[in-house]
Structure 1
Amino acid sequence: MDVDWQADLDRWLAPFVAALRHKTRARMCPAYIAGLIGPGDRKSVQPMAARAGEVGYDQLHHFVAAGVWDSAPLEAALLKEADGLVGDDAGFLVIDDTALPKKGRHSVGVAPQYASSLGKTANCQSLVSVTLASREVPVMVGLRLFLPESWTDDPERMARAGVPKDRQTALTKPEIAIEEIDRVIASGAHFGCVLADSGYGSSGPFRQALSERSLLWAVGLSRRQNVYPADVDLIFPVATTGRRRQYHIPDRSPVSAEVMLSGEKWQKISWRRGTKGRLTCLFAARRVRVADGHKHRMLDNRMQCMPGDEVWLVGERRSTGEQKYYVSNLPADASLKLLAATIKARWVCEQAHQQLKEELGLDHFEGRSWTGLHRHALMTMIAYAFLQSRRLKAAGRKKKSRRTTATTEHASHQAGHPRPLRTAATQAMPPL
């Protein structure tokens, strides 16, 4: 990054500074973000203040942890900038979560819980992340803390950590994600399809909420999820004894997603070029109806979920032997390559998580409060958006014209332009 980056940052931050509407905060915000971007391994408040020189620790700490200001205008400004950079009706909104390892038990939301980035259960904070992306370039626009039961069952503990009254309720990660998706939609940001892993996709209410919002989606699914073939019929059997049945039932029993695809033809599909050549895996797909409708008691007294809407069930077999399953409401005429390219576009959020932690100190915040954590996370996202704007500018990439409707072209756009933006998608952030 060239020596003029700080002057460029001051110009770029103008909408954010204007949103703060306060002279002192207008100084602290650029100083904090410059500290995140600047040199130094540790990006917590004390070392950043020491390196800056012009801003004291107390001022910087007060700004992020205790100052009375609303982050919503800055979040809105971030969404607007992100939309200008990567918003596209052929793009994606990627839902995931990321873990921040922590010691002790006092930092807000910390608890032993599964951390996907670590591949194990660890003492950590878990944040639901929202990333706007197109042409394999991500810009993260949302990080919201998930509170486990050990917190939501303890009002005093939440109060000590400054959890706002309206957030002191038990919400699942899919429920938090839907709130964030609604915020992105309300902002007018452009995207064509929602992507998520099985931690979200295995939730029937999450998928149904996306469909209710007329969104296209492609999400992970548990291999154990029961599904019906697309041509399942609902019948009204005549009871030979007892009371007459009141509801229709499927004419076939459901099977797991894994079993449903076991007999399908698996094809080698390449979806983009990686650093070591084309990325390929074996994929198979068929139309199904997920067993996530209302429950009925069957003739043998079992409770069984009824078929939902018709969707794509997709399987992926990796060279390691690992198998993954997905479900998508892309149109019935979508090709297998289109399905694969859409599903695999989710990788950009993992790149964003890594760079936010390794380069911008997302996991370096040492405060314990709800407000401080979310403000620090917001500052890291603004810093990341700034760096992405410079890289796009340096690479000479111009946004393609937006499509007027979100159709299957959103994924063919990805499949047809597989070469990543070198400085943004395949390399670590350059040192300053």
Structure 2
Amino acid sequence: MAKLAEYERYMKYLCEALGHQDRHVGFSDYSRGLMLPIERKSVEPLAAHIDPGHVSAKHQSLHHLVADSEWSDVAVLGRVRDWVMAKLGRKSQFYWIVDDTGFPKKGTHSVGVARQYCGQLGKQDNCQVAVSLSLASERGSVPIDWRLYLPEVWAKDQRRRKKAGVPKEVKFQTKPQIALEQIGAAQAAGVAVGIVLADAGYGNETAWREALDEMGLEYCVGVQSVTTVWAAGTGPVAPKAKNKIGRPQTRWQRVADTTPLSVKGLAKTLTPQQWRTVQWREGTNEKLSSRFAAVRVRAAHRDEEGLRAPRAEQGLLIEWPVDQAEPTKYWLATLPADTPLVDLVKTAKMRWRIERDYQELKQEFGLSHYEGRGWRGFHHHATLCIAAYGFLLADRLKHRGFKKNSTRSKTATLPQDYTPRGSPTQATSRARFHRDVALSAGVRDRQPTRSMSILQRRE
């Protein structure tokens, strides 16, 4: 009963951001349904298990809440963030983790669906992609911003935009541009500052890294093996002194016959003494460890065109497992030069938390189960999933050490005469509700996780 009372306090706190009082019951019911141990968590199954005696009415109510109701996702996620942040530890080292996740889809009508890279499938395919920013510490993590990536073909298609309810102010932006807006919004909201972590899909862009520098943020981001850098003691040279004839040079230039190295090429010049085996955390069966090296470098992207000032030195972290023929991962980091190698490795590897979050959100909270096609419904459903996840994460952090399956509730019993809408024995029209087939969540290079605790229901 204590958990139920805490849930009611949590819901009351979140619902203050919804506006109208008549949204509160539906929001609480939808969130509670997402925590039930049922296989499918789209609107109709949620309605059937939340209120088995009045499925049709509850279905209509929940559908209106998630697909049509005009409440703010930003305001609700801000309250989820504040609730969880207190449990993460205000004196902790925080991290801001940028990532994106895909949702395989069939057809072309669901908002933002296009043929693009889908991490869940590990290839190009028809899918939706959302960009997220998560707040993390050593204790846990939770998404605090979530936005659908709208491909350019969608952004320019006024007919499809109108049908899917895409707001007029939403323009085409690349994923890194969306991530920068999310980071800027977190700064403006006064979120505890964290080290920015991201994979090479974001870290490869020199302009993106430089934007983080301008924001005054430290980062540790992945880069590809072809990224070029200057090793310590090398790089562009200062402008020459003014000559009597001609215009004076103002830009730093590369010296003739000198070129930067790719990070892969630089890794192969390091001596055996520069490599160390580092353990960074406990895995499922054993401690995770690998071989790493860290050196100071300067980014060399397009500096052959001249620079007004030399780029600052930063750290290059390289992972080269002993059983591999070449290095496997690279990171550029702006952490202090005296940061110990083990701390640098732990920071780079902290990004695994968002992989775990996506796994639990999809598999246990139905993040990939939404069957609507509209912009508002896509974001509302994700916000509700994150709200449910945030409550159970905060409860888990509050009660460290308890068995996570000990409070799993039983699924509500359905009426004997209940049949799903659209089945052969029930000729209910499906015209009002659009449905896509949402594939079950897969795992993309993620650590297996145990189930989270599920909220007890009042009898």
Mapped pair 1:429 → 2:427: no
Q: Secondary structure at the match of 2:368?
A: helix
Q: Report the Cα offset of residue 207 of structure 1.
A: 0.9
Matches within 5 A, 1:40-189: 40-53=38-51, 56-86=58-88, 88=90, 90-167=93-170, 169-189=171-191
User: Which of the residues 268, 276, 290 maps onto 2:285?
Assistant: 276
Residue of structure 2 equivalent to 1:31: 29
Q: What is the CA distance between 1:69 and its match in structure 2?
A: 2.6
Q: Judging changes above 3 Å, is the alpha-carbon distance between structure 1 residues 306 and 316 closer, same or farther for their aligned structure 2 residues?
A: farther
| Alpha-carbon RMSD | 2.6
Q: Superposed, which structure 2 residues align to 1:259-270 within 5 Å?
A: 259-264=265-270, 265-270=274-279
Deviation at residue 239 of structure 1 after TM alignment: 12
State the partner residue of 1:17: 15
Indicate which of 229, 248, 254 corresponds to 2:252: 248
Q: Deviations over 1:114-153 (max 9, x none)?
A: 1223211121111112111111411121221111122123
Alpha-carbon distance in 1 for matches of 2:132, 2:118: 13
In 2, Cα distance between the equivalents of 1:337 and 1:4?
Answer: 41
Q: By how many angstroms is 1:255 displaced? A: 1.4
Q: Kindly indicate whether the alpha-carbon contact (under 8 Å) linking 2:315 and 2:335 is maintained by their aligned counterparts in 1.
A: yes
Mean alpha-carbon deviation: is it higher for 345-354 or for 230-239? 230-239
For residues 308 and 301 of structure 2, what CA distance do their matches in structure 1 show? 6
The one-letter code of the counterpart of 1:115 is C
Shift of 1:70: 2.8
1:226 paired with 2:228, answer yes
TM-score, structure 1 as length reference:
0.85
Aligned to 1:411: none
Return the letter of the residue paired with 1:315. Answer: I
Matched, 1:362 2:367: yes
Query: How far does residue 6 in structure 1 lie from its aligned partner after superposition?
Result: 4.1
Say if 2:139 and 2:397, in contact at 8 Å, map to a contact too.
no
- 1:25 and 1:292 map into 2 onto residues whose CA distance is 51
Give the Cα separation in 1 of the matches to 2:261 and 2:242. Answer: 25
- Deviation for aligned residue 1:192: 2.9
* CA shift for structure 1 position 113: 0.8
Q: CA deviation at 1:174?
A: 0.9
Once residues 357 and 87 of structure 1 are traced to their aligned partners in structure 2, the CA distance between those partners, rounded to angstroms, is: 26
* Aligned-partner Cα distance in 1 for 2:294–2:214: 24
- SS of aligned partner of 2:452: coil
CA contact (8 A) 1:294 1:306 kept: no
Report Cα offsets for 1:369-415 as digits up to 9, x if no partner.
Answer: 11110010001111110010111122179xxxxxxxxxxxxxxxxxx
* Distance in 2, Cα, partners of 1:259 & 1:113: 31
The answer to whether the Cα contact below 8 Å between 2:96 and 2:196 also exists between their aligned partners in 1 is: yes
The C-alpha deviation readout for 1:286-318, integer Å capped at 9, x for no partner, is 111111366517xxxxxx998522111111124
Partners of 1:319 and 1:12 lie apart in 2 by: 48
Select which of 211, 215, 218 maps to 1:216. 218
Q: In the aligned structure 2, how far is the partner of 1:96 from the partner of 1:151?
A: 21
Shift of 1:82: 2.7
Alpha-carbon offset, residue 38 of structure 1: 1.1
Aligned residue for 1:13, secondary structure, equals helix
Contact 1:220-1:326 at 8 Å conserved across structures: yes
Cα distance per residue 1:306-347 (max 9 Å; x no partner): 852211111112466360111000011112111111100110
What secondary structure, in the 3-state scheme, does the structure 1 residue paired with 2:315 have?
Answer: strand
What secondary structure does 1:395 align onto?
coil
Q: What SS is found at the alignment partner of 2:399?
A: helix
Q: Is the 8 A contact 1:293 1:307 kept in 2?
A: no
Give the deviation of 1:256 after TM superposition. Answer: 0.8
Secondary structure at the counterpart of residue 69 of structure 1: coil
Rate the CA distance shift 1:184–1:87 in 2: closer, same or farther, 3 A.
farther
Q: Which residue of 2 aligns with 1:287?
A: 296
Q: Is 1:329 aligned to 2:334, yes or no?
A: yes
**Which residues of structure 1 form unaligned runs of 5+?**
298-303, 398-423
User: Any conservation in 1 of the 2:19–2:71 contact (CA below 8 Å)?
Assistant: no
Determine if contact 1:162/1:370 at 8 Å carries over to the other structure: yes
Cα distance, 1:42 vs structure 2: 0.5
Letter in 2 for 1:27: V
**Structure 1 residue 11: Cα displacement:** 1.9
Deviation of 1:186 (Å): 2.0
SS in 2 for 1:165: coil
- Which residue identity is paired with 2:21? K
- 1:202 is matched with 204
Unpaired runs of at least 5, structure 2 = 403-446
Give the superposition deviation at 1:262. 1.4
For structure 1, which segment, 353-362 or 71-80, has the greater mean C-alpha deviation from structure 2 after superposition?
71-80
How many aligned positions are there?
396
Paired amino acid for 2:254: P
**d(CA) in 1 for partners of 2:386 and 2:354?**
12
2:297 aligned with 1:309? no
Secondary structure in 2 matching 1:144: strand
Cα contact 2:280–2:288 (8 A) shared by 1: yes
Measured at CA, do residues 152 and 212 of structure 1 come closer, stay the same or move farther in structure 2, by a change above 3 Å? same
Q: What TM-score do you get using the length of structure 2 for normalisation?
A: 0.80
Give the superposition deviation at 1:217: 0.6
Q: Which has the higher strand share?
A: 1
For the residues of structure 2 that align with 1:293 and 1:339, how far apart are their CA atoms? 27
Q: How does 1:367-382 map to 2 (within 5 A)?
A: 367-382=372-387
Which residue of the partner structure matches residue 404 of structure 1?
A: none
C-alpha contact 2:88 2:139 (8 A) present in aligned 1: no
Contact 1:6 1:34 in 2 (8 A): no
Distance 2:123 2:322 in 1: 22
**Residue in 2 aligned with 1:389?**
394
